[in-house]
Amino acid sequence: MPINEHALEAELGALETRFAALADRVWATPETCYEETQSSAAHIAELDHHGFQVKPNAGEVPNAILAESGTGGPIIAFLGEYDALSSLSQKADVAHPDPVEPDANGHGCGHNMLGAGAMMAAVAIRNWLRKHKLPGRVRYYGCPAEEGGAGKTFMVAAGLFRDVDIAITWHPSCITQIIRGSSLASSRIDFTFHGRSSHAAASPHLGRSALDAAELMNIGANYLREHMPDEDRLHYTYLDVGGCSPNVVPSRARVRYVARSPRTQGLGDLIARLEKVAQGAALMTETHVQTRILTAVAEIVPNDRLAATMEQVLRQVGPPAFDDDDKAYAAKFQATLDAGSIKAAYEFVGCTKSEDKALYDVLLPEDHSPKSLAASTDVGDVSWCVPTVQIWGANYAIGTSFHTWQMVAQGKSRSAYRGMFHAAKVMAMTAKEAFCDPDLVREAKAELEQRAGTGYTSLLPADARPGFD
């Protein structure tokens, strides 16, 4: 049967209504870090509808999904996510802060679309393979807990990507661009200090304050920042301050740190230095500190061969097709942003020229030099094991920051979904290139082998398990 070059576009067009509905369902049930039961169930129901073989809780990772369809040929994976963020509840389409429920969760990073768009691409290319009777296996990975829980890291550790040839994914954003650079390796570490309680007035000398130890650790970490490499990062928050009675010397305190560095080795060095700061704080206060590494994600290994292919596909597809109503909608939200936020959106993709646009309806110049991500993602762990390629979508008003109410409010709009359909098309057509060109798969794997060097090393302890206490 001759290959119809327009058949894949037809498959994608036929799926738009269903996958907008899936994104709607996930937006309406925002769930965080390994608690994505309703979102995972919605994805499983959609996969069942399309005849994929589905494994829920894949690799014993809560709410992870591995779904496959097809036979023979290479295995191409699409990575989806569906976790939300805490305390970002916001009504849709409302251009001022107005939570659906105060202090509830909200999709402030677009993962309601991320999973739906990735699955849409997977279903479309599977249908295209069937129609043309071509070999090839399509996999959809539903990945929980990207926001801080390192879901993909645990899925990699469970061996779920061992036989995959290529992985493809995307992320909602403001400006369409192929993600060519790396990212920051990152880890979440809990430091729990144990002291001795006593009456703060009658017998303060008998107490050993765990809260004092935690505060001294944070002071030490602030001094450490002066002597870290410029691109390293430390962030922290208190999880337990020892109660609410100031007349009781706190016997327990816990502080959670996020450490970041451009490379996993550098991250390990930074964690070791931070642990010494904690030990010093414990020594000063005669307390004891327990250190627990909860998550660790590696930096992204770029794949130039796949990125060049996806760039070529993007040039063929062109930019998203936004109309005047979409632009007017985006302008309402852009009016809530300051000039610095709009400038930062261009700088985020390495673009110094700002244009007077509410939605990005063009493509960046071909000679554009993208930046590495000043952020972390568990896609990095997959990229060490499988040649991986990603695209930023154009879904929000330019200047919309990640993890904000503005992103939640725009997250189920027509313009956001048009950006999602556009990203799905680029992903599906990139997969088509890989299914039809064995050299592309071979060359992408060779590049990964060369870049990865001695191989993947995770900082996750052997006894680490997905989920937090």
User: Is residue 463 in a domain?
Assistant: no
pTM: 0.95
Q: Do residues 108 and 85 lie in contact, with contact meaning Cβ atoms separated by under 8 Å? A: yes
Domain membership flag for residue 106: yes
Each residue's pLDDT, cut to its tens digit, for the chain (469 residues) gives: 455 658 899 999 999 999 999 999 999 999 999 999 999 999 999 999 999 999 999 999 999 999 999 999 999 999 999 999 999 999 999 999 999 999 999 999 999 999 999 999 999 999 999 999 999 999 999 999 999 999 999 999 999 999 999 999 999 999 999 999 999 999 999 999 999 999 999 999 999 999 999 999 999 999 999 999 999 999 999 999 999 999 999 999 999 999 999 999 999 999 999 999 999 999 999 999 999 999 999 999 999 999 999 999 999 999 999 999 999 999 999 999 999 889 888 888 777 666 789 999 999 988 777 778 888 999 999 999 999 999 999 999 999 999 999 999 999 999 999 999 999 999 999 999 999 999 999 999 999 999 998 788 899 998 899 986 5
Domain membership of residue 457 (yes or no) is no
176 and 234 in a common domain: no
At residue 12, the 3 state secondary structure works out as helix
Token pair listed for 329: 């909608």
Domain residues for the domain of 129 are 7-183+299-452
* Same domain? 164 vs 18: yes
Of 297, 314, 337, which one is at a domain's C-terminal end?
297
Q: Are residues 281 and 325 both part of a single domain? A: no
- In three state form, how does the secondary structure of 228-273 look? CCCCCEEEEEEEECCCCCCCECCCEEEEEEEEEECCHHHHHHHHHH
The CATH number covering residue 398 comes to: 3.40.630.10
Question: Quick check: 252 and 210 in contact, CB under 8 A?
Answer: yes
Q: Say whether both 155 and 198 belong to one domain.
A: no
Helices (H), 286-413: 304-317, 324-334, 339-348, 379-385, 405-409
Domain boundary among 272, 297, 322: 297
Residues 286 and 389 in one domain: no
3-state SS, one letter per residue, for 405-466:
HHHHHCCCCHHHHHHHHHHHHHHHHHHHHHHHCHHHHHHHHHHHHHHHCCCCCCCCCCCCCC
Structure confidence at residue 368 (pLDDT): 79
Asked if residue 458 belongs to a domain, the reply is no
**What does the block give as tokens for 372?**
């590495």
- Of residues 76, 83, 169, 166, the one with CA closest to residue 118: 169
79, 169 Cβ separation under 8 angstroms: yes
If asked whether residues 79 and 224 sit together in one domain, one would say no
- Note whether 170 and 314 are same-domain residues: yes
| Strands laid side by side in the 252-261 sheet | 233-240, 252-261, 185-194, 288-297
Domain identity same for 242 and 105: no
Residue 201, domain member (yes or no): yes
The DSSP letter of residue 94 is -
Q: Domain of 283: which CATH number?
A: 3.30.70.360
Identify which of 462, 465, 456 has the alpha carbon closest to the alpha carbon of residue 265: 456
Both 109 and 235 in a single domain?
no
Total structural domains within the chain: 2
Whether 76 contacts 86, CB under 8 Å: no
Assigned domain for 465 exists: no
- pLDDT value, residue 1: 44
* 311 domain residue, yes or no: yes
Give dist(CA 107, CA 84) in Å, integer.
5
Are 230 and 126 found together in one domain? no
Query: Which of 327, 402, 403 is closest to 362 using CA atoms?
Result: 327
Predicted local distance difference test score (pLDDT) of residue 5:
59
Do 13 and 149 fall within a single domain? yes
> Which DSSP state fits 372?
P
In a domain, 461, yes or no: no
- CA 196 centroid distance within chain: 40
Of 297, 319, 345, the domain-final residue: 297
Please tell me whether residues 29 and 168 are part of one structural domain: yes
